[in-house]
Amino acid sequence: MEPILKVKNLTKEFPGVKALDNVQFDLFPGEVHILVGENGAGKSTLSKCILGAYQPESGEIYLEDKKVDFKTPKEALANGIAAVYQELTMIPYLNAAQNIFFNREPVYKGTNIINQKLMQTQAKELLRNLNCENIDTTKPVKYLGVAEQQMIEIAKAISIDPKIIIFDEPTATLSDREVESFFEQIHLLKKRNIGIIYVSHRMKEFHHIGDRITVLRDGKYIKTLREGELSDEELVNLMVGRDIAQVYVRTPNDHSGEALRVENISDRAGKVEDCSLVVNKGEIVGLAGLVGAGRTEMARLIFGIDKLKGGKIYLHGKEVSGKGPSFLVNEGLGFLPEDRKQLGLAVRAPISWNIAAVSLKKIFPHFFVSQSKNDEIADEYVKSLKIATPSVKKMARALSGGNQQKVVIAKWLSANTDVIIFDEPTRGIDVGAKMEIYALMDRLASEGKAILMISSEMQEIIGMSDRMYIMNNGSIAGHIEREEFAAEKIGQMMLLGS
Amino acid sequence: MKKIKQKILESKYVYVVLSLLFMMIISSLLSPSFLTLSNLITILRQASILLMLSLGLTAVVITGNIDLSVGSCAALTGCICAKMLVADVPVIAAMLISISIGLIIGVVNGFLVGVIKLPSFVATYGMNMVASGLAMIVMNGGVIYGLPAKFTTIGIGYVGSVPIPIIISGVMCLIVYILLQKTTFGRNVYMIGFNIQAAGYSAINCLGTLLAAYAFCGVTGALGGTMMTARLNAADAGMSETYGLQIVAAVVMGGTSLLGGEGGVVGTVIGAIILTIIVNIMNIVGVNSNWQNFAVGIVIILMVWIDIYTRSRRAKKLI
Ligand SMILES: Nc1ncnc2c1ncn2[C@@H]1O[C@H](COP(=O)(O)OP(=O)(O)OP(=O)(O)O)[C@@H](O)[C@H]1O
Ligand SMILES: [Mg+2]
């Protein structure tokens, strides 16, 4: 069989970085070819070159043995290459159906009038195939959760009926159940002889769907291997170029004194009802649940972004119910939101400004700002978190997804609050960096900070938490101590409530 | 050397400065009397009021909003100031009261945009009508002349050979520059403009910053209005009409993007000067006033076009 896609000696440079250096790649019909590598290795860049979103400096791309040189993603799409980007690209004010059929809406015969009814039916059908029949296709997508939006993106790519689909970290925002139905679709696509390029940091997914794996490191092609040829550890070492141990390290420490107490809080939208929890100093407390269970909503409520309908919140014993973020940060509460592009970062602002956004008043208490001191502080975080960038003066937009996430983390580290809510802290982060973030959270806990961690990755939340609350449909369905952690039990509570 | 060259080329103001130079060269070719010291001082003096009016607006536009009420805020405060002066209110008191009125207009604008969350375009357009309506009510079709000399100095006086309005606007420029570029307040103004949601999640006091920016815009509007009154030694309700949207144009031509987060005072200074030069040279050469608006319009469009074009190129370099 002939490959449908061949990439030869591809090189792509950005000012100060060689994002791709002589990379090769090929893809057979009906194959899932996985791209792996650390944050900034060049995976997204390679995908975007194939898609025509970036123009490479040199190298060739062949589609079914014909040399192609797409100038825009639209051109690539016309030739049968679709993509689901790492960052969501939907139009927030349009509903799911309008987004899926954007620019190719079904019309009444012989007219230019959009057939809304047909569009809705087709959109529902597509989503039903993805087991997402409960997504409201008539609501503007900005009112939907990240995971739901992601499923709509996937439905959109599939609906185009392409020869090749590129998925850039499609599951980063999904919960296990959604991942499962997504994988079922992938198997169907494979049967239809569609070639799939799949970028992911989640190794356990590779066994489920992968055929071959190509490893990139620092923009260079390292190796292509068959799925299962190497163990996970060997693969990680190949990606990182050094040996790392993949374990969740928790240093035992005593949890003395209450840091955060939440009593019977509810929100006005009805997404959180009568929830209570406690986080002690030195503890990492997990908040598990399906996507849509209300975990992020609860965090927003605690951080004062949304208004309380009822209930009380205490920080270090002091009541802070109804206060806004500025007040709460001064009292020592931090919140790392899950949507880094919309809520975590000002992508057009320099990295250094982003890192200092929360702590600005602390760094410069006398009203005047020194850019060079700001840069110095940012440089320290760039070093300690290994953020891959030539300069902190660059816009945050220029960073790879994982490195953007690290900037958000740096921002909250520099704020140095003693209670931190992490919402999906390792989303889109490579294994090496994940381990660093786990180590960091562990260190924060042993320094006596209190951490509330929201995560959709079962392994991670089991590995890192001292205790865990499980949310189901807006309420706390259960509370488990570390000794009793068991994936089945947790999963059951997440699905069914207690 | 190479580094310096690159730095200059990457600076956001290169093209704005180049346009200014270009404009000056053309003008001096058109008329030998353009490039005389006295004419240059005249230009700066004429520009100083437009500049004052655009200063606070620069901050507002950086937050990603707009204030269309600056012109009528200036007219209203100027008229009230004149009314008080002819009623023998002490000069300092009259000016302070006018500035407070500007401040109140700004705070109301900020409240409408930040708390009630009206689109700034609509809210401040409404305020524009309210303020100009108030000015008409106050003046009732009349004109006030003959203000105390102590007051008119701020419009027509000199320190040595430098006109006082240039000094006042120059000092305000410096203050606004420092506020925006060198303080935590200024940083927050930019962060709100870049992404107000992320700013909120970063515990930045968005509402306070927005209110302050609008309040400041009202203050510079009032300052511009009193300077205008002093310069004309007269006040009437329609006196700021010539400025109108030129105030917005000066800001935008200087490279401050309506998207928010970009630009600054330096650009506004150059924008205001360019706008003034066009009118100045047309007056010197004797262009029919019917054609003047037409020409100003063309230049505004060209400048914003150049700015947007070079910005996208610069963005590619910076990332
Ligand atoms: N638009 C851009 N401008 C400048 N540099 C860029 C741009 N996009 C990517 N880069 C740089 O190119 C390199 C590769 O980035 P890329 O996004 O391909 O990484 P990635 O492998 O997808 O990483 P991640 O796992 O974090 O998503 C990084 O060093 C990044 O900073
Ligand atoms: Mg990527």
User: Domain end: A243, A271, A292, which one?
Assistant: A243
Q: How confident is the model at residue A103 (pLDDT cuts 50, 70, 90)?
A: confident
Greater confidence (B282 vs B191) lies with B191
Q: Check whether residue A164 and residue A258 sit in a common domain.
A: no
Whole-number average pLDDT of chain A: 90
Region of A305 (left: φ > 0; alpha: ψ -120 to 50; beta: rest) is alpha
- Residue B160: strand, helix, or coil: coil
Q: What is the average per-residue pLDDT within B2-18? A: 71
Searching chain B, which residue's CA lies closest to the CA of residue A327? Answer: B203
Q: Is the Cβ–Cβ distance between A213 and A225 less than 8 Å?
A: yes
Q: What is the average per-residue pLDDT within A89-97? A: 87
- Residue B115: strand, helix, or coil: coil
Query: Has residue A497 got a pLDDT over 80?
Result: no
Predicted structure pTM score: 0.83
Lowest mean pLDDT segment, chosen from A467-471, B213-217, B309-313: B309-313
Residue range A340-375, pLDDT digits in tens: 888 999 999 999 999 999 999 999 999 999 999 999
Q: Check whether residue A292 and residue A386 sit in a common domain.
A: yes
Q: Check whether residue A450 and residue A358 sit in a common domain.
A: yes
Q: What is the average per-residue pLDDT within A214-224? A: 92
Q: What is the average per-residue pLDDT within A456-474? A: 89
Q: So what's the pLDDT on residue B3?
A: 66
Q: Is the CB of A403 under 6 A from ligand 1?
A: yes
Query: Has residue A319 got a pLDDT over 70?
Result: yes
Q: Is the Cβ–Cβ distance between B106 and B217 less than 8 Å?
A: yes
Q: Is the CB of A351 under 6 A from ligand 1?
A: no
Q: So what's the pLDDT on residue A436?
A: 84
Query: Has residue A471 got a pLDDT over 60?
Result: yes
- What is the number of the ligand 1 atom nearest to the C-alpha of A169? 27
Lowest mean pLDDT segment, chosen from A162-176, B29-43, B116-130: A162-176
Q: So what's the pLDDT on residue A90?
A: 83
Ligand 1, atom 28, lies closest to the CA of A40
**Mutation test of the interface with chain A: which of B179, B185, B197, B202, choosing the one with the most A Cβ atoms within 10 A?**
B202
Query: Has residue B313 got a pLDDT over 70?
Result: no
- What is the number of the ligand 1 atom nearest to the C-alpha of A47? 18
Lowest mean pLDDT segment, chosen from A173-177, A200-204, A286-290: A173-177
Chain B residues lying within 8 Å of A411, measured CB to CB? 202
Q: What is the average per-residue pLDDT within A223-246? A: 81
Query: Has residue A94 got a pLDDT over 80?
Result: yes
Q: Check whether residue A160 and residue A261 sit in a common domain.
A: no
- Residue B242: strand, helix, or coil: coil
Q: How confident is the model at residue B318 (pLDDT cuts 50, 70, 90)?
A: low
Q: Check whether residue A206 and residue A290 sit in a common domain.
A: no
Residue range A240-263, pLDDT digits in tens: 776 655 568 888 888 889 999 999
**B319 and A395: CB-CB below 8 Å?**
yes
Q: Is the Cβ–Cβ distance between A86 and A428 less than 8 Å?
A: yes
Q: So what's the pLDDT on residue A171?
A: 83
List phi, psi (to 5°) of A390: -70, -25
Q: Check whether residue A74 and residue A141 sit in a common domain.
A: yes
Beta bridge partners, A284, equal A451
Q: Check whether residue A319 and residue A374 sit in a common domain.
A: yes
Q: Check whether residue A340 and residue A204 sit in a common domain.
A: no
Q: How many residues does chain B have?
A: 319
Q: Is the CB of B87 under 6 A from ligand 1?
A: no
Q: Does A346 touch chain B (CB under 8 A)?
A: yes
Report the number of distinct structural domains present in chain A. 2
**Pairing status of strand A308-315 against strand A318-319:** antiparallel
Q: Is the CB of A19 under 6 A from ligand 1?
A: yes
Q: How confident is the model at residue B231 (pLDDT cuts 50, 70, 90)?
A: very high
Q: So what's the pLDDT on residue B65?
A: 96
Lowest mean pLDDT segment, chosen from A212-226, A314-328, A425-439, B53-67: A425-439
User: Domain end: A187, A212, A243, which one?
Assistant: A243
Sheet with A318-319, edge to edge strand ranges: A275-280, A258-267, A308-315, A318-319
Share of chain A above pLDDT 90, in %: 58
Residue range A433-454, pLDDT digits in tens: 888 889 889 999 999 999 999 9
Residue range A371-381, pLDDT digits in tens: 999 999 999 99
d(C-alpha A136, C-alpha A113), whole Å = 23
Residue A47 CA: distances (Å) to CA of A28, A164, A430, B163: 16, 11, 17, 61
Q: Is the CB of A171 under 6 A from ligand 1?
A: no
Chain B residues lying within 8 Å of A398, measured CB to CB? 318-319
Q: Is the Cβ–Cβ distance between B57 and B248 less than 8 Å?
A: yes
Q: How confident is the model at residue B10 (pLDDT cuts 50, 70, 90)?
A: low
In chain B, count H helices and then E strands: 14, 4
List phi, psi (to 5°) of B282: -65, -35
Q: Is the CB of A402 under 6 A from ligand 1?
A: yes
Question: What is the C-alpha radius of gyration for chain B, rounded to an integer number of angstroms?
Answer: 20
Q: Is the CB of A388 under 6 A from ligand 1?
A: yes
**Mutation test of the interface with chain B: which of A329, A351, A360, A393, choosing the one with the most B Cβ atoms within 10 A?**
A360
- Residue B226: strand, helix, or coil: helix
CA distance, residue A458 to nearest chain B CA (Å)? 27
Q: How confident is the model at residue A179 (pLDDT cuts 50, 70, 90)?
A: confident
Rounded to the nearest whole angstrom, what is the distance from the C-alpha of residue B161 to the centroid of ligand 1? Answer: 57
Domain boundaries, chain B: 45-311
Query: Has residue A291 got a pLDDT over 90?
Result: no
CA distance, residue A342 to nearest chain B CA (Å)? 6
Task: Using alpha carbons, select from B269, B267, B256 the residue that is nearest to residue B67.
Answer: B256
Q: So what's the pLDDT on residue B2?
A: 61
Chain A residues lying within 8 Å of B191, measured CB to CB? 346, 349, 353, 357
Q: So what's the pLDDT on residue A469?
A: 95
Q: So what's the pLDDT on residue A296?
A: 92
Q: Domain containing A417: what range?
A: 246-496
Query: Has residue B186 got a pLDDT over 80?
Result: yes
Greater confidence (A237 vs B56) lies with B56
Fold of B45-311: ABC transporter involved in vitamin B12 uptake, BtuC (1.10.3470)
CATH number at residue A88: 3.40.50.300
d(C-alpha A396, C-alpha B50), whole Å = 36
Q: Check whether residue A181 and residue A308 sit in a common domain.
A: no
Q: So what's the pLDDT on residue A192?
A: 86
Q: What is the average per-residue pLDDT within B216-226? A: 97
Searching chain A, which residue's CA lies closest to the CA of residue B203? Answer: A326
| C-alpha A175: how far from chain center | 11
Ligand 1 pocket mutation pick from A11, A12, A13, A17 by most atoms within 8 angstroms of CB: A17
Greater confidence (A410 vs A145) lies with A410
Q: Is the Cβ–Cβ distance between A452 and A422 less than 8 Å?
A: yes
User: What ipTM describes this predicted complex?
Assistant: 0.90
Q: So what's the pLDDT on residue A245?
A: 59
Whole-number average pLDDT of chain B: 91
Q: How confident is the model at residue A416 (pLDDT cuts 50, 70, 90)?
A: very high
Query: Has residue A410 got a pLDDT over 90?
Result: yes
Q: So what's the pLDDT on residue A341?
A: 85
- Residue B163: strand, helix, or coil: strand
Q: Does A372 touch chain B (CB under 8 A)?
A: no
Q: Where are the beta strands (DSSP E) in B32-163?
A: 144-145, 158-159, 162-163
Q: What is the average per-residue pLDDT within A470-492? A: 87
What single DSSP character describes residue B204? -
- What is the per-residue burial (b if ≥16 Cβ within 10 Å, else e) of A67-96? ebebeebeebbebbbbbbbbebebeeeebb
Residue range A294-313, pLDDT digits in tens: 899 999 999 999 999 999 99
Q: Check whether residue A261 and residue A129 sit in a common domain.
A: no
User: Domain end: A200, A226, A243, which one?
Assistant: A243
**Pairing status of strand A450-454 against strand A467-472:** unpaired
Residue range B285-308, pLDDT digits in tens: 888 888 888 888 888 888 888 777
Q: Check whether residue A259 and residue A164 sit in a common domain.
A: no
Q: So what's the pLDDT on residue B41?
A: 93
**B202 and A348: CB-CB below 8 Å?**
no
Q: So what's the pLDDT on residue A92?
A: 85
Q: Check whether residue A339 and residue A324 sit in a common domain.
A: yes
